Amino acid sequence: MKFFVDTADTAEIADLAATGLLDGVTTNPSLIAKSGRDFMEVTKEICALVDGPVSAEVIALDHPTMMKEAEVLRKIADNVCIKVPLTVDGLKTCKALTDDGAMVNVTLCFSANQALLAAKAGASFISPFVGRHDDNGFDGLDLLRDIRLIYDNYNFETEILAASIRHPIHVLESARIGADVATMPPAVIRALFKHVLTDKGIEGFLADWAKTGQTILK
């Protein structure tokens, strides 16, 4: 499974990229606004921090303006992935951009039928929102299962990008289902490292080492 981080905080991205765990980054208008920085500037900086796809979202809702915005965004860096909403105009834009060789992330997916449409439009990634689906009384993981089944039935190349990941169990279950990518906030990635027995093991090793009075660095 590929790991993307869902943030526009460049310090967090740089720190996590140093672990070798990051395969890409997703952003959205809300995350850019939270950063308090210029949209183009922060997106360019993020693209320089990772080799993989960096999702940059269009703001327009109509196809012609989406295409104009995408043209600007594509000039930022070669690893920009244009993010479009799952609407008729969004899928028109997806089709046109993928035909022109661009990466496209179709976002705000809440049904398997929507995911089917995105795959037929040639999306590079489909972003089903697991946590937000749960918030509204549905099962976000069941949505992933349905999409995985449909995509496998027809050998679609669109990658399933599990989004709105809230905690490590979402990551684990998304991996079990076979999602190609999970995008998550930095705090969720860091939580994946945590286990009480790891912490206790380190504590025990250090206590035993201190009793020896030795040091590795002379």
Collapsed DSSP state (helix, strand, coil) of residue 150: helix
Please identify every residue annotated as catalytic: 83
pLDDT of residue 218: 84
> What amino acid occupies position 164?
S
pLDDT of residue 185: 97
Q: How confident is the model at residue 2 (pLDDT cuts 50, 70, 90)?
A: very high
- The b/e string for 58-89 (b: 16+ C-beta within 10 A; e otherwise) is bebeebeebbebbeebbebeebbbbbbbbbeb
Q: DSSP E strands: which ranges in 111-194?
A: 125-128, 159-162, 181-184
Better-scored residue on pLDDT, 128 or 35: 128
Homologous superfamily of 2-212: Aldolase class I (3.20.20.70)
> What amino acid occupies position 88?
V
Global pTM reads: 0.95
Residue 165: exposure state from Cβ atoms within 10 A (0-12, 13-18, ≥19): buried
Asked which of 20-24, 28-32, 148-152, 163-167 is least confident by mean pLDDT, the reply is: 28-32
Q: pLDDT tens, 101-135?
A: 999 999 999 999 999 999 999 999 999 999 999 99
Cα–Cα distance for residue pair 186/91, rounded to 1 Å:
29
